[in-house]
Amino acid sequence: MISARITATAASPKRTRVTGDMKSPSTSFPARNGETLTTGCYQISDKFSYACDSVNELISTVLQRSPSVSRNLADRVTRSILDRIAQGVVSVGDELPPEGVLADELDVSRLTIREAIKTLAGRGVILVKHGKRNRIAPVENWDLLNVELMELRGRMRGESRNLVEQLTEVREIVEIGAAELAAERITPEQLEEMRRHLGTMIQVEAEEGEPDVTRAVEADIAFHRIIIEAAGNEYLAATYRPLEEVLKAVRMDTSATAKVRNEAIHWHGEILNKLENKDTKGSREAMRSHMGQTMGAVREDSE
């Protein structure tokens, strides 16, 4: 875990310096009796050294430097800020409270707050400008390939259906052409893998009891991924890959009914048959029909 030692600095006797070894197997925080400490921590020489003004702040800071602890805490802060947006506590254009205030409210260090802010800024949710308070960015800036942000934006603006339909339109543009390319380039090994995934989808429907929708959806997505890979175009694969996280979330919703799952099985079988026969036009049209069925499921699910 973490070990640390606390010693008074010569320049500031009321502050302390802590050096923590993040790879050490033990945790200890020895301090001298009667040592006077005040508030806050700051980094001083290397990534493991801090000057702090309270033992609690010092311990919190060192603990939160542990990668696993730091990531979990930062994720919690990230979700907390998103919850505040969802609940209307803060709105687009509003300033966030200062780092110190957020740290106190959420019972974490400023380092953790900064890590969470950095994550949200990277996803387009927060505008960070030097010398100014952080603000909530316009929703148009948000990363729509992040499932949580897509769902939050959909709820805030009442556009969940529209966003999912837009995603399906992108799939139509990408996958219809990919199927045509794949018909010319697909390998026997890839065809066999597609048969296996289709078999999984069929097996899920044949099993007694509650169907394993997650397993069926994973097989569905894997089936389509092979078509993208078989197309043999790296730019196409790079375009499709980021969609998969959001695609899985959407498919979990639209595949909730046996009717939709069985329709998908039918069209997957048609697509596979055309690919096996190296039928470029047939593969393209089978995928077009499948995408039409998918769009119908999306619209039905949102009604």
Q: What is the pLDDT of residues 146-171, one digit of tens each?
A: 878 877 887 777 666 678 888 899 99
| CATH number for the domain formed by residue range(s) 155-301 | 1.20.120.530
| CATH 1.10.10.10 domain extents, the chain | 67-142
Answer whether residue 10 shows pLDDT above 80. Answer: no
Range name among 28-42, 117-131, 147-161 with the lowest pLDDT average: 28-42
| Neighbouring C-beta atoms of residue 173, cutoff 10 Å | 12
Q: Cα(102)–Cα(92) distance, rounded to whole angstroms?
A: 18
pLDDT higher for 292 or 43? 292
Most confident of 4-13, 51-60, 114-123: 114-123
Query: Residue 87: what pLDDT?
Result: 87
When pLDDT is averaged across residues 220-230 and rounded to a whole number, the result is 97
**Tokens standing for residue 167:** 């995603």
Write the secondary structure of the chain as one string of H (helix), E (strand) and C (coil). Answer: CCEEEEEECCCCCCCEEEEEECCCCCCCCCCCCCCCCCCCEEECCCCCEEEECCHHHHHHHHHCCCHHHHHHHHHHHHHHHHHHHHCCCCCCCCECCCHHHHHHHHCCCHHHHHHHHHHHHHCCCEECCCCCCCEECCHHHCCCCCHHHHHHHHHHHCCHHHHHHHHHHHHHHHHHHHHHHHHHHCCHHHHHHHHHHHHHHHHHHHCCCCCCHHHHHHHHHHHHHHHHHHCCCHHHHHHHHHHHHHHHHHHHHHCCCHHHHHHHHHHHHHHHHHHHCCCHHHHHHHHHHHHHHHHHHHHHHCC
When pLDDT is averaged across residues 124-140 and rounded to a whole number, the result is 90
What torsion do the CA atoms of 58, 63, 64, 66 make, to the nearest 10 degrees?
140
Q: Cα(277)–Cα(214) distance, rounded to whole angstroms?
A: 30
Domain 67-142 is of which CATH architecture? Orthogonal Bundle (1.10)
Most confident of 70-74, 241-245, 282-286: 282-286
pLDDT higher for 230 or 9? 230
pLDDT higher for 191 or 51? 191
> For a pLDDT cut of 70, what percent of the chain falls above it?
74
Answer whether residue 191 shows pLDDT above 90. Answer: yes
- Tell me the pTM: 0.65
Query: Residue 4: what pLDDT?
Result: 42
Query: Residue 26: what pLDDT?
Result: 31
pLDDT higher for 75 or 231? 231
Query: Residue 254: what pLDDT?
Result: 87
pLDDT higher for 29 or 61? 61
**Beta carbons of 59 and 19 less than 8 angstroms apart:** no
| CATH 1.20.120.530 domain extents, the chain | 155-301
